Structures are given as structure tokens and as C-alpha cells.
């Protein structure tokens, strides 16, 4: 066995994706030290490497929100039951997932309170007092927080009883303003996920069965994982004036009449980190897009005890930092092979290798994480070369993910083809639908596929529903999902 093979075995093996995708995912999140299990059942510890990813998501997304006029606020963690009950459909939608607090200190509470599963009712209660005039509108607020939903089956990032997210809640003077904001925020999510995370998405509208409890309309971005399953990656909801009527949120308009506001809500959570892992990862571990990677470049000195090697490696690190690149110098006493395998497993987008022979030749070796391509770069222009290569990696990762998505979207115009595709071809299936919830439920029961969305660019495949054969109303993307 070669020294390189021995070094690679020093980093714990990760289950092959093709052998067991679920176990591969668990191996990656554990061995890349993104999360750890907790003594609190169903909840996870997000370790520094995982939280650094969330911080980068948060920083970029927050800037994009603020560019549209959104301001950050913070609402209470607890919601009194009487407040929650004001919106019946909303309560019924979340009832199975709500965690209740019934005692404070040593005394039972006069009224039980839930730990927020989402904050619509809190914002509505606030807006009812805060909004009085058309001059107060629109209200464009967002909060970064955690929420609790009592999930029965949990998996790190994808589904846990407590998770981190942001939830935007806006109020508008008319229906048009609310609808415009709903679509705007969906596109903020779509652009962010594609441009920053290199994950292509399908944008569209949820069916009535799949829309958010209490919403007039729900819109979604759907991403496809490596195994062909969908992951709902961000949603935006138009509430109309339903919540406003339930909570009495009124304002005096310019014509001196009282009107109800129209509201929106939109959210993206830490499950997007699960998407990054499952879209880009490989059998060696994480593969991180440069724009979201906490460490974009790692400099690995070879024969670092030789004179001048560590000094030149440090100079390279400084030059890259001046270029605005997030860089780490690995000058630990581990062997180079161990370092290579470890940083590959952690998904660092680019590795700079530098040894005495490289210095003598006035160059360093650059190794990409995404496709393992290796190239030499002159030391005198290394920072510019690295910056350009990081942009190439970002683009190439998106292009590969988009090719995977497009090659795993199929079309069906009859039930036999549809059911066979769902059973035999991991991915999405485009098919026409009559609009009946009964057909939607039958498809789920018999194939395991759910309606992911009615895409904005829907197209037309046939005149009949793929399930019942009656007149079709919409083209829907169907698929199995996390």
C-alpha cells in the first residue's frame, strides 16, 4: 500500500453514495463536523463548521433582503393559546407539531403557551397595534430566530425539532402590493440559491393541498438532490387579508376609510445546508461552492521543515487574504496526504500545494475540490489566478447541478408511464393534472410522489389528467421529497 493510500485511510471512510445515500449523508455531516447529536431528543448541535455555513447564508441573504427595503425585528418565543386560536386554519395546520408550555417555575400557567412553530400570529398581534394609517405601510419586517416543531422522525439539517431560519412578515395597503412582494421574495430566494449556493431550482406555485396553512397562495423553490429527491428550499406566501380580518389589522386609507391590510410571509431555514451537501457532495465528502465556503482555499506546505517553505506559504496566505479570499494555512504536523484527504472531506474548494521544488520553479500547484483538476500557477500572479479559478469552480458546480436537474426531469401523459417513471427513474416527472385533490392524493398513495409545484414556465403536455383522464387544468412537477 502506498503512503498516499495509507494517509487517505487515516481519514475515516465515508459510505458510498450509491451504496446507501442516507448513510452517506449521515457520515458526511458527522465526519465533516457540521453537527453532532444532542442529549435533547430530536435536536442537533450545530458545530463551528456547520454554523459557519449558516453565517455565510445569513450574511448574504440578509443583505439581499435589506436591498429590497426589509428591516430586521425580533418577536417573542412564546405564543399564548388564545392568540394562536384566532386563525383557525393556521392552528389546524400546525396542531400536530406544536410544543406546549404549561408551567412557569413552580406554578401552572393560567393559559398554556406554545413555543413558536412560526410567528404569523405574533406579527399579526403586533401589526394590529402598530399600523394605523396608510402612511405606516408597507411594513417590511424579517426576523432571524429558531422555531420548534415536534417532528417524529428527524435528520440533521433536513428535519429537527428545533431549527434556525428567517421568517419575513410584511403588510401592504392592497392586494397588488402583497402579491408583488410575495413573488419578489420568492425570486430573492431563487437567485440566492442559484447564484450563491450553485443550486438550480424550479420556481412555481404550490397546489391548494400543499400550500401553507392560512395562506391564499404559496410559492416555492424546489431543488433536486443527487438521489433525485426534491427538497423544498424556500417558500413565499400571500395571505391576502385573511389574517388581517382575524386579528383586526386595519388602517385608515387616503380616502379616510378603514381597510384591512394584505400580508405576506416567507422563510428559508438551515435545511438549505442539507441541500448544499446533497446536491454537490461526493464519496469523499463535502464539496462546497466557493461563495458559501467558510474556507475557500487551503495552503498546504510540502516538506514544511525545509528552509523557506513555511515563509513562502505564509506569504501566499497573506496575498490571498488581501484579495478578499478566505484562506487557511495548514501548518500542522500531519502528513501532506492526511491534510489532502481531510480538506477534501471538508469540502474546501481549492488547495494550494507548495514545496521546495515548486518554490524553485516559481510556482505552486492548485488542486480543485470539485473535479480534482490540478494545474500549476506562477507565484507572482497566484492571487489573481486563484480568484479567477474560484469563480470558475462556482460556475462549473452550478452548470453540473443544472445538467443533473435537467437530465432527471421526465414527461408523462398516461398513468402507466407516470407510475413507471416514479418507480424506476429518480427525479421529477412533469404531468398534467385536473386540479382535483382526490387525484393528488391517489398519486401520493400509489406512487409516493407529491406535487412539488406548478412551475411558472409550465408548458402543456396534453389535454387530460395523468391520473383520472379528465380535462387537465395545470401542468405539475411531481416527485418524491425529503
From 137, 223, 228, select the one nearest 178 (Cα to Cα): 137
Residue 242, preceding bond cis, omega within 30 degrees?
Answer: no
- Confirm if 78 and 113 have CB atoms less than 8 A apart: yes
21-280: CATH superfamily: Bira Bifunctional Protein; Domain 2 (3.30.930.10)
Please state the length of the chain: 482
Full DSSP string of 68-115: TT-EE----SEEEHHHHTTSHHHHHHHGGG-EEEEEETTEEEEEEEEE
Q: Which three cell numbers stand for residue 166?
A: 428567517
DSSP three-state, residue 217: strand
Q: Give Cα 22 distance to the centre of its chain.
A: 18
DSSP state of 481: B
- Helical pair 271-280 and 175-197, crossing angle rounded to 10 deg: 40
Q: Which three cell numbers stand for residue 112?
A: 398554556
297-396: CATH superfamily: Anticodon-binding domain (3.40.50.800)
Task: Specify the pTM.
Answer: 0.94
From 318, 403, 327, 337, select the one nearest 6 (Cα to Cα): 337
Separation CA 297–CA 276 (nearest Å): 18
Please state whether beta strands 202-205 and 217-224 pair in parallel, antiparallel, or not at all (unpaired): antiparallel
* pLDDT, one tens digit for every residue, the chain (482 residues): 454 555 455 556 899 999 999 999 999 999 999 999 999 999 999 999 999 999 999 999 999 999 999 999 999 999 999 998 887 777 777 788 899 999 999 999 999 999 999 999 999 999 999 999 999 999 999 999 999 999 888 999 999 999 999 999 999 999 999 999 999 999 999 999 999 999 999 999 999 999 998 899 999 999 999 999 999 999 999 999 999 999 999 999 999 999 999 999 999 999 999 999 999 999 999 999 999 999 999 999 999 889 999 999 999 999 999 999 999 999 999 999 999 999 999 999 999 999 999 999 999 999 999 999 999 999 999 999 999 999 999 999 999 999 999 999 999 999 999 999 999 999 999 999 999 999 999 999 999 999 999 999 878 999 999 999 999 999 999 999 99
- Confirm if 368 and 389 have CB atoms less than 8 A apart: yes
C-alpha torsion sign, points 466, 467, 470, 471: negative
409-479: CATH superfamily: C-terminal domain of ProRS (3.30.110.30)
Q: Give Cα 235 distance to the centre of its chain.
A: 11
Task: Give the residue extent of every domain in the chain.
Answer: 21-280, 297-396, 409-479
Amino acid at each position: 500500500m502506498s503512503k498516499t493510500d495509507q494517509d487517505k485511510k487515516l481519514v475515516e471512510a465515508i459510505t458510498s453514495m450509491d451504496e446507501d445515500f442516507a448513510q452517506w449523508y449521515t457520515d458526511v455531516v458527522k465526519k465533516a463536523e457540521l453537527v453532532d447529536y444532542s442529549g435533547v431528543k430530536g435536536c442537533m448541535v450545530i458545530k463551528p463548521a456547520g454554523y459557519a455555513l449558516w453565517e455565510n447564508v445569513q450574511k448574504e441573504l440578509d443583505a439581499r433582503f435589506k436591498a429590497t427595503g426589509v428591516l430586521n425585528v425580533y418577536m417573542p418565543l412564546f405564543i399564548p393559546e388564545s392568540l394562536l386560536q384566532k386563525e383557525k386554519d393556521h392552528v389546524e395546520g400546525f396542531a400536530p407539531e406544536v410544543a406546549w408550555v404549561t408551567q412557569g417555575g413552580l406554578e401552572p400557567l393560567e393559559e398554556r403557551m406554545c413555543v413558536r412553530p412560526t410567528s404569523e400570529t405574533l406579527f399579526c398581534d403586533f401589526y394590529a397595534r402598530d399600523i394605523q394609517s396608510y402612511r405606516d405601510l408597507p411594513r417590511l419586517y424579517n426576523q432571524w430566530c429558531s422555531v420548534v416543531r415536534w417532528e417524529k422522525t428527524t435528520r440533521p439539517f433536513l428535519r429537527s425539532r428545533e431549527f434556525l431560519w428567517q421568517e419575513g412578515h410584511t403588510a401592504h395597503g392592497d392586494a397588488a402590493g402583497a402579491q408583488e412582494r410575495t413573488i419578489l421574495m420568492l425570486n430573492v430566494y431563487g437567485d440566492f440559491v442559484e447564484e450563491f449556493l450553485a443550486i438550480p431550482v424550479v420556481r412555481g406555485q404550490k397546489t391548494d393541498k400543499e400550500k401553507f396553512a392560512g395562506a391564499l397562495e404559496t410559492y416555492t423553490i424546489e431543488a433536486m438532490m443527487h438521489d433525485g429527491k426534491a427538497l423544498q428550499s424556500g417558500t413565499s406566501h400571500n395571505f391576502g387579508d385573511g389574517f388581517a380580518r382575524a386579528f383586526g389589522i386595519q388602517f385608515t386609507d387616503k380616502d379616510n376609510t378603514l381597510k384591512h391590510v394584505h400580508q405576506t410571509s416567507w422563510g428559508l431555514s438551515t435545511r438549505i445546508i442539507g441541500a448544499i451537501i446533497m446536491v454537490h457532495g461526493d464519496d469523499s465528502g463535502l464539496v462546497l461552492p466557493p461563495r458559501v465556503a467558510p474556507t475557500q482555499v487551503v495552503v498546504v506546505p510540502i516538506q514544511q521543515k525545509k528552509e523557506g517553505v513555511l515563509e513562502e506559504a505564509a506569504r501566499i496566505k497573506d496575498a490571498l487574504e488581501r484579495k478578499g479570499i478566505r484562506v487557511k494555512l495548514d501548518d500542522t504536523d500531519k502528513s501532506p496526504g492526511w491534510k489532502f484527504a481531510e480538506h477534501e472531506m471538508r469540502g474546501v474548494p481549492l488547495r494550494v500545494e507548495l514545496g521546495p521544488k515548486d518554490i524553485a520553479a516559481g510556482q505552486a500547484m492548485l488542486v480543485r475540490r470539485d473535479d480534482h483538476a490540478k494545474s500549476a500557477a506562477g507565484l507572482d500572479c497566484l492571487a489573481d489566478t486563484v480568484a479567477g479559478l474560484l469563480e470558475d469552480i462556482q460556475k462549473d458546480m452550478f452548470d453540473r447541478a443544472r445538467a443533473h436537474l435537467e437530465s432527471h426531469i421526465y414527461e408523462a401523459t398516461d398513468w402507466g408511464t407516470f407510475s413507471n417513471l416514479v418507480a424506476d427513474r429518480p427525479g421529477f416527472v412533469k404531468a398534467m393534472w385536473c386540479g382535483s385533490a382526490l387525484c393528488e392524493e391517489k398519486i401520493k398513495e400509489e406512487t409516493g410522489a407529491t406535487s412539488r409545484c406548478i412551475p411558472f414556465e409550465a408548458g402543456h403536455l396534453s389535454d387530460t389528467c395523468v391520473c383520472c383522464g379528465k380535462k387537465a387544468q395545470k401542468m405539475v412537477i411531481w416527485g418524491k421529497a425529503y
